Chain A
Amino acid sequence: MLSVDGLTKRFSGLVAVDDASLAAPEGRITGLIGPNGAGKTTLFAMAAGFLTPDAGTVTFAGEDVTAEPPHLRARRGMARTFQIVQPFAGLTVRENIAVGAHLHHPSRAEAMERADAIGKRVGLAKDLDRAAAGLTVAGRKRLELARALATQPKLLLLDEVLAGLNPSEIRDILPVIRAIRDEGVTILMIEHIMQAVMNLCEHVYVLAQGKMIAEGPPIEVSRDPQVVEAYLGHGAAARMQAAGGADA
């Protein structure tokens, strides 16, 4: 569904993403993990068209979309959420979702109806008439998800939709994400919460300092010494092995 090849992005001297490649196969949930500042969000921004890569290509459903602006990618069926939530603060929750629904429903009444249905699906039924600015963190994350879903995407790019949620809120939202996948939507998610990654993803990529350092099923990747070192520092993997994994 989505594949990025050799993506590179420099911000003056800093190489934020360095020759990174990944693929999100159709109908699967693919994860992208990595320590803070690894360049995950930058990679996402390039995939969705918000940043132009200095090198590399983005291919969506078999077509090269590297140079396409975000709104055209959205029309092709690519939807993203933002790590730092971006609600239309002055509008109600229903109106927020309706903006997404308008992509395929020109009529206001239809878009509002779709918004109702999607709002209910992600658990925002009670909040539909509230101003988006009045939502809790968990509510805003759900709103991000709902708006993206309202565009009827083929591919959903989720940028830390679980961050800032408490364990019970996470438990509530995991089935929602899985249900979206079951309907045939391909998902690529950036996530920090390993419990969720283990739970949802079939395949994960690990980005560290802009480079893709590992990929594979989550269990394997989490044991990869390179990955452990990327998270915990140089020599950590060796020390953990020496300690027999007791500290892990």
Chain B
Amino acid sequence: MSARDLLLPLIAVLVLAGLAFSGLSGTLLNLLIFMMIISLAAQGWNILGGFGGLSSFGHAAFFGTGAYTTLILQTSLGVNAWAGLVAGVLLGAAVGAGIGFLSFRSGLKGSYFALITLAFAEVLRIASNSAPITGGAAGILLPLDYGFLNLQFDDRRWFALIAILFVGAALALTRWLERSRFGAYLIAIRENEQAAQALGVDVFRVKLGAITLSAGCTALAGVLYAQNYLFVDAHVAYGPWISIEALFAAIVGGLGTMFGPLVGAVALLGLGEITKMVSGGVPGVDLLVFGAILILTVAFVPGGLMSLRQRLTGRRRPRGETALRSEEGA
């Protein structure tokens, strides 16, 4: 990976930061922050589901662990928010490694893997709904206290900037995947596990590494969510909604691409918001739109929005790699 590889993530960060500081209204700024959080969750999902071909239906397990960890540490132990963030990411990654160890050891793939991850997330949801440490059904509230160390800002643009920087870091991580041996091995496993094994790939270890990275990234989204709303309960943390939004954004944006999850999150949440405004706030109408978009994407643009761009520009290029691939995909 060279400095040039980081150019696109850097441009994305600059554009998003410029947007955050362009004088957006409070509502729009909140939407931008929420887009960044969902993007991070989806970027995490994309590492495992997009690059590794292992579709999880339970990324809530990591999101929720990140969210709960930081709030519990702050409220009951008085740890500062940044340490809480690091702990949340690490614990989320550890939960990923644990679920990965159990699933991959038993060779779970495809729908079996999706189901087992869903089961883990649901168990965590039910447990956290009744356990005293997670505040039971009441959840955990973090008292309002502005300050950099508390990761709470009177001027919400600063929080947006921090979320954007993390999204940028996740973009860089994805770029590294595209440029490294680990990433090449992960993609090889997605394409053909047996062939990868024959070429010396330790399938178990690569998958375990992928789910750990993926879980850490999604846990970071959970930490930011908790930090943004200063509240978390079992449904928000471990509910299926976040598992679904993470995979929606990644699939709609483009599986296994660097910008896919970000583009997907922005497109989905943006459209959802517009629908809510137009319909005058009918509850759940944005979910209806999400479903329709997913169906349209899978039917007409199976490669996601990112492949749309390649399809449009591919015609004008010489017969390069992308042009050929989109022909085959079509």
Which residues does A use to contact B, with CB under 8 Å?
48, 50, 69-71, 74-75, 79-80, 82, 86-92, 95, 98-100, 102-103, 106-108, 111, 129-131, 133-134, 147-148, 150-151
B288 contacts the other chain (CB 8 A): no
Do A130 and B324 contact each other (CB < 8 Å), given the known contacts A82-B194, A90-B191, A102-B181?
A: yes
- Give the chain A neighbours of B325 by CB distance below 8 A: 90, 131
Q: Residues of B contacting A111 with CB < 8 Å?
A: 181, 184
Q: Knowing A86-B192, A111-B184 touch, does A133 contact B328 (C-beta < 8 A)?
A: yes
Residues of B near A151 (CB, < 8 A) are 199-200
The distance from the CB of A51 to the nearest CB of chain B, in whole angstroms, is 12
Which of A71, A88, A150 sits near B192, CB closer than 8 Å?
A88
Question: Given the complex of chains A and B, what is the CA–CA distance between A80 and B200 in angstroms?
Answer: 11
Question: Which residue of chain B is the closest to A80 with respect to CB atoms?
Answer: B198
Whole-angstrom distance between the Cβ of A240 and the nearest chain B Cβ: 40
- Contact A71 to B195, CB < 8 A, known contacts A88-B188, A102-B184, A111-B181: no
Contact pattern, B 177-189, Cβ under 8 Å of A = 1, otherwise 0: 0011100110110
Option from B180, B191, B200 in Cβ contact (under 8 Å) with A89: B191
Residues from 279 to 329 in B contacting A, C-beta threshold 8 Å: 320-321, 324-325, 328
State which of B180, B195, B328 has its C-beta within 8 Å of the C-beta of A88: B195
- The main secondary structure of chain B at its interface with chain A is helix
Which of A82, A88, A106 is the one whose CB lies under 8 Å from B187?
Answer: A88
Closest chain B CB from A91 CB (angstroms): 6
Contacts of A87 in B (CB 8 A): 191-192, 195
Cα of A107 to Cα of B176 in the assembled complex, Å:
12
| CB pair B201 A99 closer than 8 Å | yes
Q: How far is the CA of A111 from the CA of B183 in the complex (A)?
A: 13
The minimal Cβ–Cβ distance linking A11 to chain B, given in whole angstroms, is 18
A129 to B201 Cα, complex, angstroms: 23
A-B interface contact total, Cβ < 8 Å: 86
> Which of A69, A102, A108 interacts with B179 by CB under 8 Å?
A108
B86, CB-defined interface residue at 8 Å: no
Q: Is the CB of B188 within 8 A of A74?
A: no
Determine the chain A residues whose CB is within 8 A of the CB of B196 once the complex forms: 88, 99
Instruction: Decide: A89 and B198 in contact? CB cutoff 8 A.
Output: no
Question: Which A residues are in CB contact (< 8 Å) with B130?
Answer: none
Q: What is the CA–CA distance of A54 and B213 in the complex, to the nearest angstrom?
A: 38
A97 (CB) vs chain B CBs: closest residue: B199
Interface pair A88/B198, CB less than 8 Å apart? no
Using a CB-CB cutoff of 8 Å, which residues 106-125 of chain B contact chain A? none
Which residues of A lie under 8 Å from residue B194 when comparing CB positions? 50, 82, 86
A88, closest chain B residue (CB): B191
Whether the pair A108, B180 counts as a contact (CB closer than 8 A) is yes
Say if the beta carbon of B75 comes within 8 Å of chain A.
no
Q: Which of A50, A69, A75, A134 contacts B324 (CB 8 A)?
A: A134
Given contacts A48-B198, A74-B199, contact A99 B328 (CB under 8 A): no
For B154, list chain A residues within 8 Å (CB): none
A75–B201 CA distance with the chains assembled, in angstroms: 9
Chain A residues with CB under 8 A of B197: 50, 69-71, 74
Set of chain A residues within 8 Å of B191, measured between Cβ atoms? 87-91
Task: Give every chain A residue within 8 A of B198 (Cβ-Cβ).
Answer: 48, 50, 70, 74, 79-80, 82, 86, 148
Q: Which of B199, B201, B328 has the most CB of A within 10 A?
A: B199
B184 and A95 contacting across the interface, CB-CB below 8 Å: yes
| Residue of B187, B192, B198, B320 with most partner-chain A CB within 10 A | B198
